[in-house]
Amino acid sequence: MVSVFDHGFLYGDGVYETIRSYGSRIFMRDEHLSRLFRSAAEIGLTMPIPLKNWGDILQEAMMRNDVGTDRQDAYLRITVSRGAGDIGLDPALCSSPTVVVMAKPLAPPASHLYEAGVNVIMASTKRNLPSALSPQIKSTNFLNNIQAKREAIAAGAFDSILLNWEQHLTECTISNVFFVMDGTLRTPALECGLLDGITRSIVIRLAGELNMHVEEGRYTVDQLYRADECFLTNTSMEIMPVTSVDRRPVGDGKPGPVTLKLREQFGAVRSRL
């Protein structure tokens, strides 16, 4: 049981990582764990369990919860908070971190969403300044994203895209954004203030292997409105086609050939990653 004095509960002082499995194989396990340790280091939180032990811990979590099998892929979440301590912001008030590992059945988005594509909106909520909180820290304080998600829910949209302080595209609330315009696959540069997503990196690599021209840059809403295709990426949903932005159709309003080709290629390699 988590203490009411836990600084993760009181202040959102902690980090996390979400991972999935394909059967018993944990997708990009080492990359996810390395990012968790980097996030912890960025906030001065010493991980109480060595990196080398985490593979066995995750396998045990799947076994105990009867997931990560031929019948059921697993959703895994590791949460590490500063730990329990007296009221106050000083990290030294907490003697040891709290570690929680959750394993449950993966519930991917419905298949019809991949077939028809989803609608996203542009949020009025702006992405945090990187100088205020680095987007490379997977912090348990998620209010910035939650505010943008509330906007999407109110609009009946699948998700919303956040702009940064310069009105450039960043990311959705839990996923990275790609779009195709003028024959080039484009995605916001990390300097715009977004998470360096693991699936994002894989898609960029796969696109290169398919001889697609890929560009990371600073993009506006107007450029996204003119896109021929658009899709979102994250670990659990892989590659999700977007067929409208702010109720405006993307391209012909159907998942496009680049999106479909990348989905096909991702499906061919995912179980080996």
**DSSP calls for 149-202:** HHHHHHTT-SEEEEE-TTS-EEEESSSEEEEEETTEEEEE-GGGT----HHHHH
Q: Are strands 184-188 and 214-217 parallel, antiparallel or unpaired?
A: parallel
- Structure confidence at residue 212 (pLDDT): 98
Q: What is the pLDDT of residue 270?
A: 92
- Closest residue by Cα to residue 194 from 148, 127, 142, 135: 135
Give dist(CA 176, CA 26) in Å, integer: 21
pLDDT, position 272: 86
Asked if residues 175 and 231 have their Cβ atoms less than 8 Å apart, the reply is no
What is the overall mean pLDDT for the chain?
Answer: 98
In the chain, % of residues over pLDDT 90: 99
- pLDDT by residue (tens digit) across 57-66? 999 999 999 9
Give residue 1's pLDDT. Answer: 86
Is the pLDDT reported for residue 140 higher than 90? yes
Catalytic residue among 104, 126, 138, 261: 138
**Catalytic residue status for 138:** yes
Is the model's pLDDT at 273 over the cut of 90? Answer: no
Per the CB < 8 A criterion, the answer to whether 21 and 77 are in contact is no
pLDDT at 234 over 90: yes
Question: Contact, 221 vs 167, CB < 8 A?
Answer: yes
Per residue in 1-60, pLDDT tens? 899 999 999 999 999 999 999 999 999 999 999 999 999 999 999 999 999 999 999 999
Q: Domains (ranges, CATH) in the chain?
A: 7-105 (3.30.470.10), 111-272 (3.20.10.10)
> How much is the average pLDDT of 176-193?
98
Q: What is the mean pLDDT of residues 238-256?
A: 98
What average pLDDT does range 220-228 have in this prediction?
99
175 pLDDT higher than 90: yes
